[in-house]
Structure 1
Amino acid sequence: MHSTAVQDTPRAAGNQTAILAIILVSYFMILLDNSVVFTGLPSIRADLELTPATLSWVQDAYTLVFGGLLLLGARAGDLLGRRRLFLIGLALFGTASLLIGVAPTGWWIVAARGLQGVGAAIVAPTSLALITAHFTGEARSRAVAWYAATAGIGASLGMLVGGALTAWISWRAAFLVNVPIAAIMIFAARRVLTETERRSGRFDVIGAVCATLGMSALVFGIMESTERGWTDPLTLSALTVAAALLIALVLHEARAPQPIMPLRLFSHRERSGAYATRLLYMGAMIGFFYFTTQYMQDTLSFSPLQAGLGFIPMTAVNFAVAMAIPRLAGHISGPVLLLAGVVVTLAGMAWLSRLDPDGTYLIAVALPMLLIGAGQGLAFAPMTNAGISSLSTEDAGAGSGLINTAHQLGMALGLGILVTVATSANDTAGVAGHVSAALTGSSVLLGLALTVVLLVVIPSRRAEPAHNDA
């Protein structure tokens, strides 16, 4: 099939507000479960009498399957139709949420979390690809801004929702709430969304196997590093297998007629810079959520619900700034907005990293959170737009999959690195000292993201003055 600009894909005849609402609610639902489990883990452990190893897999099973299957989920949407696969993903996610909510044992909840990861790996890339299929021009810019805002606030609201439902009802409610949401979204999507054009051709089996197993091994190795260390034989073995499979993937994709991960996606400097920036940025942000929660609960003596509420300043500012992006984009280029966002986030993270055992919530946490929220609100939409820049129709699914892969891989890699940094801190400094060290590491990752924006993203845009942000 010849390549045509993705902007030429026909719009759905239905109401575009309804289309966007379906996509965003579905995307928000899966993002929520990335973090909602954090506040419920102590209750899950007590209720199901889980060992520490099994408890860790309640989160890791979701992360591993989600990250490992993203490229496969994106490619399947191109071949089977994105609306059809979107519905399948929602059905899997809703079913898995029900199974988690009624889980009687540890192995049951771990298996159900893995199934939930399969649904998430389908919905995440398909939702962004559906935006490229149903929106054009300014409408797409606004849709991407909403999508970016959803990605930005999903983690912080996950903490709040998880803490509230666990405190008021049960940890099970935090998962069961997905069941009616998924059912409503399936019903609405069937009525509102139109099917995208299906691509004919063979499925890249070798590429799918290498991508899925390679990404899974990479995520697994990074996750194991947080418990065993980077020099542990199991960690090193997983990372070695991952490297071998991902190298094989690149070599195969260079020759495959219909690759699962077209290497031409990386030939565009702005897109490649956006993938790298997102990986580094999300690595820093997972440290922010993971360690700031510990500081609020262990040092400031917040309850899980209070810790969730503690993220509201960041969430509110993030959302407000993200909604202003379409107006700002009319006067300021995307790369400059991205640059400003990373700089402001870095300033907030550097401030937050100075916390100590005697700090107060207002000065040590809330005020730097305002900067982090504003920076994320500025950065996410232009980062997402850069990631889908100049994509053809045939590459829309794969491009969306790579954005989400960078997002998930960045969080897994960032957490592995930052846990190592935190544990290397002097024990005499207590929790605050470990959290400060980790957030200093987050600041370094943001510094690297800033370097990528300055050296890759902005120069690439200057080389293409006619580029359209939409």
Structure 2
Amino acid sequence: MPRPSAPGAGDRRKPLWVIIVACSVPMFMVALDNLVVSTALRTMAVDLDASTTELQWFVNAYVLSFACLLLTGAALGDRFGRRRIFVAGIALFTLASVGCGLADSSEQLILMRAVQGLGASAVMPLSLTLLAEEVPDKKRNLALGLWSAVSGLAVALGPVVGGAVVDGLDWQWIFWINIPVCLVAIPLVLVVLRESSLAGTRLDLLGMLLTTAGLLAVVWAIVNGEDEGWTSGIILSAFAGGAVLLALFVMWERRAPQPLLPLSFYRVRAFVFSNLVSASMYFGVFGSIFLLSQFFQIAPVRTPLEAGVLTLAWTLMPMFVAPVAGALTDKVGGGRLMALGLFLQAIGLSWINLVATSDTPYSRMVGAMVVAGIGMGLVFAPTAAVVLGSVGPQYRGKASGANNTVREIGGALGTAILSSVFVHYGDDRTAQGFVDGMKPGIWIGVAVVLVGALCALAIPRPRPEDNVPATVAGERESDRTPSSATP
């Protein structure tokens, strides 16, 4: 297996903050667009004469292509150059944003949103991989904490930016704002970050096809389960087809000369449990935030912008906590920090559920949101550090892609299941009806978050023997050659 440049092999004379900005700004743009559209859906429905199903696909088209192609985006970076594919992803995402802004029909917007997801699938995993390569080992966890803070800021600002744009401008501006970000990001990346790749790497084309098709079937079933019915024939068939394709993917990866996802990762306890933590957190927390962002618009009635501002007590906390958590990861242990963070999230969600009524004063909920936000910040950076630290340097791209895939699927599944529970027990016609549906959904989120906390406690402190061995099953030592790394 070809090897990359040494960890932290970037020009160490570059200020740490410049490297973090170069890696984080494109990731911020991608993460923001994962949330900002939801706030504008009602306005889009009027302007585009969109049906309820089409509105859902304005969100789902992005989620589907993004979640299903993350592994492929990381693999393309390993093969053709991580910086090159990173820049190509930024450019494609921005061109698709222009297409979204110019769309005058639902069909055009859905297509462009899918292309946005394609670009995002290259940006997100390679952002983390490039950061890990450019930063010296002793500063890596701090850098990951700051990177996580930027990611948390995107989560925080998504509803606010969406609400502000809808209230003050046309909905198209939620896409136009990506253009100046791109114009800054691409030159910054080309100047600050070095190119790196795994010389001699061959693409696992069959692995890409099987995993993309399998994940597409599973994620499609997740995002459509509520509308079609979880026991309907089409949903069960999609789950079954996805399971078969993913099983074939696993069988192929066991014999592939250069696998898309080395199965030896799953012999490393830290890697397995940190991925379970990611899936649990995104299931419980982001499914709950999906409901709470609507709760603040209906109990009592508020504008989207007002509701977005109220969620900042929760969503801004990771921006302050994540850098501290990153710096403490080696001293305290990533698993312990993740467990504490998930327990705090469970406390915050339970607190919200216990005080929520059709007219609860915001002052009674703000403390719970702060607690939950601190918990979120304690999970982001340690998870990234443990995932990257549990594999060898040459596998960071693949590990990042795998973790992002699990995370996105967990978030999609949480939103879909908690929404289904909400529909079963309540409705959005009245404030009380919304509370009746929201509470059982959030209790499920609490339960899943607690399961994630138990998984975090099972993560061992790092030891040299915990890393993935340099030679993965099916690879020959003679196949390993130095990587390319050019200024």
TM-score, with normalisation over the residues of structure 2? 0.91
Q: Is the 8 A contact 2:97 2:176 kept in 1?
A: yes
Aligned residue number for residue 472 of structure 2: none
Q: Is 1:430 matched up with 2:402? A: no
Q: Distance in 1 between matches of 2:212 and 2:466?
A: 33
Structure 1 residue aligned with 2:483: none
Counterpart in 1 of 2:219?
Answer: 219
Alignment partners' CA distance in 2, 1:179 and 1:311: 27
Matches within 5 A, 1:255-266: 255-266=255-266
- 1:36 and 1:420, CA in 2 relative to 1: closer, same or farther beyond 3 A? same
User: How far apart are the structure 2 equivalents of 1:36 and 1:426?
Assistant: 25
Do residues 362 (structure 1) and 383 (structure 2) align?
A: no
Q: Which moved more, 1:20-29 or 1:195-204?
A: 195-204
Contact kept in structure 2, 1:6 and 1:391, CA below 8 Å:
no
Q: CA RMSD in A?
A: 2.0
Q: Map residues 330-345 of structure 1 onto 2, 5 A cutoff.
A: 331-345=331-345
| Contact 2:2/2:201 (<8 A) preserved | no
Residue in 1 that maps onto 2:391: 391
Q: Which whole-Å CA distance do the structure 1 matches of 2:207 and 2:288 have between them?
A: 34
Q: Which moved more, 1:36-45 or 1:287-296?
A: 287-296
- In structure 1, the partner of 2:76 is 76
Which of 442, 445, 468 lines up with 1:442 in the alignment?
445
The question of whether the paired residues in 1 share the 8 Å contact of 2:8 and 2:134 is answered with no
1:216-365 correspondence to structure 2 within 5 Å: 216-329=216-329, 331-354=331-354, 355-363=356-364, 365=365
What is residue 117 of structure 2 aligned with on the other side? 117
Distance 2:12 2:28 in 1: 22
Q: Match of 1:184? A: 184
- The amino acid that maps onto 2:107 is W
Out of 448, 455, 480, the position equivalent to 1:452 is: 455
After superposition, the Cα gap between the structure-2 partners of 1:127 and 1:12, relative to the gap in structure 1 and judged at 3 Å, is farther
- Quote how far apart the aligned CAs of 1:272 are: 0.8
CA distance in 2: counterparts of 1:298 and 1:60, whole angstroms: 24
d(CA) in 1 for partners of 2:2, 2:180: 41
1: CA distance between counterparts of 2:124 and 2:274? 17
Q: 1:440 to 1:6 in 2, by over 3 A?
A: farther
Q: How does 1:135-214 map to 2 (within 5 A)?
A: 135-214=135-214
Query: Is this contact kept in 2: 1:12–1:193, CA < 8 A?
Result: no
**5+ residue gaps, structure 1:** none
Q: How does 1:11-22 map to 2 (within 5 A)?
A: 11=11, 14-22=14-22
Aligned partners of 2:340 and 2:453 also within 8 Å = no
Instruction: Spell out the pairing of 1:392-411 with structure 2 (5 A cutoff).
Output: 392-411=392-411
**2:477 aligned partner:** none
Residue identity opposite 1:397 in structure 2: G
1:127 aligns to 2:127 (yes or no): yes
The CA distance in 1 between the partners of 2:329 and 2:87, in whole Å, is 33
SS in 2 for 1:224: helix
Letter in 2 for 1:153: L
> Offset at 1:288?
2.3
> For residues 65-104 of structure 1, what are the structure 2 equivalents within 5 Å?
65-104=65-104
1:29-84 deviations in Å (ceiling 9; x for gaps): 10001110111000111111111111111101000000111111111110011000
Larger mean CA deviation between 138-147 and 28-37 belongs to 138-147
Displacement of 1:128: 0.7
The answer to whether the 8 A contact 2:285-2:345 is kept is: no
Cα distance between partner residues in 2 of 1:123 and 1:251:
28
CA gap 1:397/1:465 in 2 versus in 1, 3 angstroms:
closer
Residue identity opposite 1:360 in structure 2: P
8 Å CA contact retained: 1:283, 1:415: yes
Kindly indicate whether the alpha-carbon contact (under 8 Å) linking 1:461 and 1:467 is maintained by their aligned counterparts in 2.
no
Structure 2, unaligned runs of 5 or more: 468-487
What are the Cα deviations for residues 125-176 of structure 1, in whole angstroms up to 9, with x where unaligned?
1101101211122321111001222233322210111111111112111111
**Shift of residue 236 of structure 1?**
0.9
Q: Deviations over 1:330-389 (max 9, x none)?
A: 6422222111111111100111122121312221x3221101111011111111111112
Say which SS state the counterpart of residue 424 (structure 1) adopts: helix
Structure 1: distance between partners of 2:107 and 2:464: 55
Query: What letter corresponds to residue 55 of structure 1 in structure 2?
Result: L
Question: For the Cα contact (< 8 Å) 2:2–2:198, is it kept in 1?
Answer: no
Deviation at 1:404, TM superposition (A): 0.8
Q: Distance in 1 between matches of 2:185 and 2:416?
A: 34
Percent of residue pairs bearing the same amino acid type: 30
Q: Is the CA contact (8 Å cut-off) linking 2:339 and 2:454 kept in structure 1?
A: no
CA distance in 2, matches of 1:138, 1:99: 43
Deviation at 1:320, TM superposition (A): 1.7
Partner of 1:48: 48
Q: Distance in 2 between matches of 1:155 and 1:4?
A: 32
Structure 1 range deviating more: 317-326 or 271-280: 317-326
2:217 is matched by which residue type in structure 1? A
Superposed CA deviations along residues 76-129 of structure 1, whole A, max 9, x for unmatched, are: 110011000001000001101111111111111101000000010010011011
> CA 1:328 to 1:202, structure 2 compared with 1: closer, same or farther past 3 Å?
closer
Query: Against the structure 1 CA distance between its residues 142 and 257, is the aligned structure 2 distance closer, same or farther, given a 3 Å change threshold?
Result: same
The 2-side partners of 1:217 and 1:12 are apart by 44
Give the Cα–Cα distance (whole angstroms) in 2 for the partners of residues 397 and 230 of structure 1: 34
Deviates more, 1:412-421 or 1:75-84: 412-421
Partner Cα separation in structure 1 for residue 220 and residue 201 of structure 2 = 32
> Structure 2 vs 1, CA of residues 274 and 5 (structure 1 numbering), >3 Å: closer, same or farther?
farther
The match for 2:485 is none
How many residues in Structure 1 have an aligned counterpart in Structure 2? 463
How many Å apart are 1:15 and its aligned residue?
4.2
Pair 1:91–1:2, CA change in 2 (3 A): closer
Shift of 1:7: 2.2
- Partners of 1:9 and 1:393 within 8 A in 2: no
